[in-house]
Chain A
Amino acid sequence: MPMTEPWIIVGKGPAGLLAASLLLEQGHRVVVVAKGQGSLPLWSGALDFYSWDTKQHPVKAPYDHADHLSGLSLNREQWQAGWEDWRRILQKVGVQTQVSPDHENLLSPTLSGVLVPRYLVPEWQYAVTDPEPVTVVSWDGILDLDLHLWAERYQQHTKMAAKTIQRPGPQGWTARWTPLHWAGYLDSESGRRWLADDLEAALDDTFDQCPVLVPQIIGIRHTEEILSDLRVRLGRPVKEIPLIAPCLGGVRIAERWKEYLLGHGVRFVADEVVGVDGFGVQLATGGALSGRVVLATGGVLGGGFRLQWDRTVINTATGQSIAWSGKPEDLSCIGVSDANSLWGVVGRSAGGWDGDRHGGAGHVLGTVLAWVNAMHEEVYCAAR
């Protein structure tokens, strides 16, 4: 395919990586420029489509609400094909996901013990269509997961029992180990042996048909292997409960995804984009890259926009200033709503999403699909 001009994706959060993967599949050359590590480590790894309705009630059938996302007019088939694409890409990347058989939301517990709707969930994370009794095991020093409180809320919320088991850490453990320390240890041979022995010693016959839940600390590189070995050894599934950012689920996906793209010839440039035009981008270190540009720089949280004390908002990639009402609740939907013809805009940098609860991944997918559609139209028109 004689594509001379590369695509330059600015940003390596989920929107940037998804756009890069789709372009790659269509045979384009792709360069990803990002100054930071991307926003995936802020994500648990579970992708939510449309999780909460406008009254903040959990949503069972996200397709019925998809129109609320970003005002994008995608039909059910387009959405479904989009999610299938994403799922397929994650599979290529090396992340197996679960999705409900009837394309509804799954239920997955937070670290406080309440179940929240999620659409596409990595295999390592606990997610079900119907709540069931569980056993939860945690280890000393995992501060964010308080088993007692977790079980109390889980029971309140689901009317299902939760048996809790608190265990001491391994030899060499200190009270200030973070989940990242834990993951490094459990990825090692000795860590894996310790974990299997410890879980075997901890569990008794209670709920022995039901899953065992553990905090999300089970390694970064070998998670699936460790969990499947445990399943064989313990005779029941072991699944994770995501913790707080940096979330290992997101870290795992980010690392694998980048490795996959690198392996397929995508170039990663660690630099800050300080200017954009129809021909490419200028970099903070002085250089420039030419190609067609897609901004996936994120919103205010991701760093795509920066608020100044005088209430101006700067687009960090283009340097342009845009408007903001001054209301905190409008911050998460700051973005470039009038995407221009010179460069594409996807993810939170596109704006128009009301943030926090309505489905971050749905918004990412929707804006990427909208951009892909627009691009196809453009190519089609040009060809005619």
Chain B
Amino acid sequence: MRMKWGKWLMVVVIGAGATGLGVAWDLMLRGVPVAVLDQGDLGHGTSGRFHGLLHSGARYVLTDAVAARQCQTENLRLRQVAAPYIESTGGLFAASPDVSENLVQNWLRGCHDAKIPVAPASPVQGMNAQWKRIYEVNDGVINGYQLLQALARGIRQGGGQILTHRRVVGARPMKGKIHTIVMEGPDGLEEMRADAVVNAAGPWAGHVASLWSDPLPLTLSRGIMLLFSHRQTPKVINRLDVPGDGDILVPHHHISIWGTTDTETDSPKAPTPSHAEVAHLMERGLAMFPDMGEWRVLRSFSGVRPLYRAPGNLARETRHISRDFVVLDHPLKGAFSVIGGKWTTYRLMAEQVADRVAAYLHYATPCQTGAVPLPLANAVGVGADPLLCECESVSKSQLRAFEGLSLSDLRTRTWFGMGPCQGTFCGHRVMQWRSHQIGEEAASKELAAFREERERGMCAALWGDNAVEWLLQRNIRFQSLGESQRADD
């Protein structure tokens, strides 16, 4: 096997989520050569499967003062360095009539201590009129995929490498130090020289650390979310209470995300939400928004949180494991793992990881990510070319900017297939375009995988117009397009 990548000093980051890309961007700004590997595309894991909330920290003031303060500081910082990818919606905290006044006062005090600005507010349309105690904080919305792409762009522009669709399968030491990373990619096995390796593989971090035989105190928790069409509220809405299930509504682009749940799980792969979980979320939601049953549901999806279980924390429920993060050294020199954390604090996590790695490699340059803005997206001309995806206004020229990517990667880059039709009218069009590059057979396979993924989410929330849409999709696929239902052809 030929050493394909990296002849000189190199830090390999495993995982192209917010943490991994954040670490690589940070190291790159310090002048450290980096490469990021991921088994899928950018945001393949937890970073691509969250509610999109830029926390003010107010959610955590009752349970985790440190996390609350970190969120507030990072919230303000991201508005500076990642402004194009943040929506300053503001967020409301509303207390149900069942919540004691004592709890509300504790929460207000906690916000004050964490320096979170709070102001009394009036309810938004559609909210349960019984919920009268309402406060506004500086919550916001993160456009996660766009922010990840901006980080990737910055890393590449600085000379770093991002290798997606490569699964790390081995880590070879030399004289007690990490030396080589072995990965499996589209062209088979490849090796990469590594002077340090950062395991930012999120829920897969346990698998990665086992490659150098050092198990991690990792607990996995899954969260279910429901996605509704339209911005059902102008602001983020939180339940003012001790954090629980179904208490965050986030307006995101022109949709809304309602979440979430918190149950322990053993697989890092995001599971299909069950009906019981979805029904539980709906019941919680109806208490806050009595009309939620009439909202146009699009799909349900889940994400898996990697949580760090501190030694001695015997909590039975994953909700009682801190959302804090830790950076761990391993007996294998040059190997670091980062576990836990939240999207909102990805930059801070990255800074602390990069500090450790830089110190190990004797780099003295300080962190700059708190001041250097992320690069802007390349403007893609929309022009008058036809729209392939009408729901999300994705034109052929926008796809061309990502030529070479698979259907499912194109989806997260351009957002095609994400609207109310969930690919019914655009899946085959994008497949046709793709077939000119990779041939009919390969493109059909990608379409089948795309359909399967979309269908799974739709079927997990099968009611109202979404059920109608799903049946329309099947009719179009099997009648108009003559797609095959048989797996064998």
Q: Known contacts being A149-B440, A153-B440, A357-B478, is A300 close to B468, with CB within 8 Å?
A: yes
CB distance from A291 to the nearest CB of B (A): 29
Question: Does any Cβ of B come within 8 Å of A116's Cβ?
Answer: yes
The reply to whether B432 and A149 contact each other, CB–CB distance below 8 Å, is yes
Digit string of A146-174 for contact with B (CB within 8 Å is 1, else 0)?
10110011001000000000000000001
CB distance from B222 to the nearest CB of A (A): 20
State the CA gap A181–B385 with chains docked (Å): 16
Query: Which residue of chain A is the closest to B297 with respect to CB atoms?
Result: A309
Question: Does any Cβ of B come within 8 Å of A243's Cβ?
Answer: yes
The reply to whether A56 and B293 contact each other, CB–CB distance below 8 Å, is no
State the CA gap A166–B321 with chains docked (Å): 61
Stretch at the interface among A21-29, A77-85, A326-334, A365-373: A326-334
Contact residue range for chain B?
A: 35 or more
The reply to whether B480 and A244 contact each other, CB–CB distance below 8 Å, is yes
Query: Which residue of chain A is the closest to B388 with respect to CB atoms?
Result: A143
Q: Inside 8 A of B459's CB, which chain A residues have their CB?
A: 328
Question: Does any Cβ of A come within 8 Å of B129's Cβ?
Answer: no
Q: Inside 8 A of A243's CB, which chain B residues have their CB?
A: 480
State the CA gap A310–B286 with chains docked (Å): 12
CB distance from B21 to the nearest CB of A (A): 35
Question: Does any Cβ of B come within 8 Å of A6's Cβ?
Answer: no
State the CA gap A56–B483 with chains docked (Å): 11
State the CA gap A360–B467 with chains docked (Å): 19
Query: Which residue of chain A is the closest to B439 with respect to CB atoms?
Result: A152
Query: Which residue of chain A is the closest to B282 with respect to CB atoms?
Result: A309
Give the interface centre of B282, B388, B464, B481 by most chain A CB atoms within 10 Å.
Answer: B481
Question: Does any Cβ of A come within 8 Å of B279's Cβ?
Answer: yes
Q: Inside 8 A of A360's CB, which chain B residues have their CB?
A: 479
Majority secondary structure of chain B interface residues (helix, strand, loop or mixed) = helix
The reply to whether B429 and A143 contact each other, CB–CB distance below 8 Å, is yes
Give the interface centre of B386, B479, B481, B484 by most chain A CB atoms within 10 Å.
Answer: B479
Question: Does any Cβ of B come within 8 Å of A311's Cβ?
Answer: yes
Question: Does any Cβ of A come within 8 Å of B428's Cβ?
Answer: yes
Digit string of B434-472 for contact with A (CB within 8 Å is 1, else 0)?
011000100000000000000000010111100110111
Q: Inside 8 A of B482's CB, which chain A residues have their CB?
A: 110, 112, 114-116
Digit string of B401-438 for contact with A (CB within 8 Å is 1, else 0)?
00000000000000000000000010011001101100
The reply to whether B386 and A326 contact each other, CB–CB distance below 8 Å, is no
Interface residues in B69-95 by Cβ distance below 8 A to A read none
Question: Does any Cβ of B come within 8 Å of A236's Cβ?
Answer: no
The reply to whether A311 and B275 contact each other, CB–CB distance below 8 Å, is yes
Question: Does any Cβ of A come within 8 Å of B475's Cβ?
Answer: yes
The reply to whether A308 and B384 contact each other, CB–CB distance below 8 Å, is no
The reply to whether B386 and A141 contact each other, CB–CB distance below 8 Å, is yes
The reply to whether A326 and B474 contact each other, CB–CB distance below 8 Å, is no
Question: Does any Cβ of A come within 8 Å of B476's Cβ?
Answer: yes
The reply to whether A355 and B474 contact each other, CB–CB distance below 8 Å, is yes
State the CA gap A156–B444 with chains docked (Å): 14
The reply to whether A242 and B480 contact each other, CB–CB distance below 8 Å, is yes
Q: Inside 8 A of A175's CB, which chain B residues have their CB?
A: 384-386
Known: A144-B428, A242-B480, A357-B479. 8 other contacts (CB 8 A): A110-B479, A115-B482, A174-B384, A175-B384, A244-B476, A309-B282, A355-B471, A355-B474
A-side interface residues toward B, CB under 8 Å? 42, 44, 56, 110-112, 114-116, 141, 143-144, 146, 148-149, 152-153, 156, 174-176, 242-245, 247, 299-301, 303, 306-311, 326, 328, 331-332, 355-357, 360
7 closest residue pairs by CB, A with B = A110-B482, A146-B432, A301-B471, A114-B482, A307-B463, A307-B467, A175-B386
**A-B contacts, 15 listed (Cβ < 8 Å):** A42-B475, A56-B484, A112-B428, A114-B482, A175-B385, A176-B387, A244-B481, A301-B468, A307-B462, A307-B467, A309-B279, A309-B463, A310-B293, A331-B467, A357-B479
